Amino acid sequence: MRLHDRVAVVTGGGRALGRAIALRLARDGADLILAAPEENEIGQTADEIKNLGRRASAVVTDVTRDDEVASMADRALAEFGRVDILVNNAGIIGPTAPVTEVSRDDWDRVLAVNLTGAFLCTRALLPGMIRRRSGRIVNIASTAAKNVTSLRSPYAASKWGLIGLTMTVAKEVGKHDINVNAVCPGPVEGGRINTVIANQAEQQGRAVKDVTQDYINQTLLGRFVPADDVAAMVAFLASDEANNITGQALEVSAGWRM
């Protein structure tokens, strides 16, 4: 219970990787605020967390909207009194297309969710951490922010930007004993990577199984990453065991190499 009685906000905490992160933090003793636009999904995850004996609140939030993020932060403080941990996990995969075929609307939407959302949540919750001289922020980036990724320019740009945000905020708030890091997952098992692969296969005119094998071959361990392994890294970075880790972008990628 290394996170006993700490309070964490997880954006996009209702499904897939966000759900895995939220449940792992709860198992390590944290109480949770789940922020996402899908009420049913975060409600179900909140119920699972309560069944683990922890407190949980599901707050419907569009992280691209200043007012909704501010309301989420106010509710978190009203219900729990503080926020010790912020996990900026909300994200979308965006289009799979050559940059010349990416619409402005798609570009703006990916940057708004994946990067601006993290900025807004950080801006809303950081002042309380600064006052207490304590806090952890973990941004979920991607190996797409460390390697060349074709046909996914909005997504790659958003994740490169998220690492830049991570490093900048870490430098600003280190004097307040606040740790800020990014986790860069490789291909994580589940529906999201399956969609990405299907879209890549369509764009390239190839079979899904062949593109899937390409992804596997690009990892040194020859496999996709379970969501629970990424969640374990997040829980570690949120704990006292990571007191002297900040300003880092750490991979959980099975050795992903392009």
Strand, helix or coil at 170? Answer: helix
Any residues with CB less than 8 A from the CB of 150 and at least 6 apart, and which?
Answer: none
Clarify whether 215 is annotated catalytic: no
Residue type, 153: S
Tokens 């392994």 correspond to 229
How many residues in total does the chain contain?
A: 258
Q: In Å, what is the CA distance from 23 to each residue of 117, 200, 215, 237? A: 22, 31, 27, 15
Active-site option among 3, 110, 155, 158: 155
User: Residues 63, 11: contact at Cβ < 8 Å?
Assistant: yes
Q: In the beta sheet, which residues pair with residue 26?
A: none
Q: How many CB atoms lie within 10 A of CB 195?
A: 12
CA 252 to CA 66: how far, in whole Å?
A: 31
Tell me the chain's radius of gyration from C-alpha atoms. 18
Task: Tell me which residues are annotated as active site.
Answer: 155
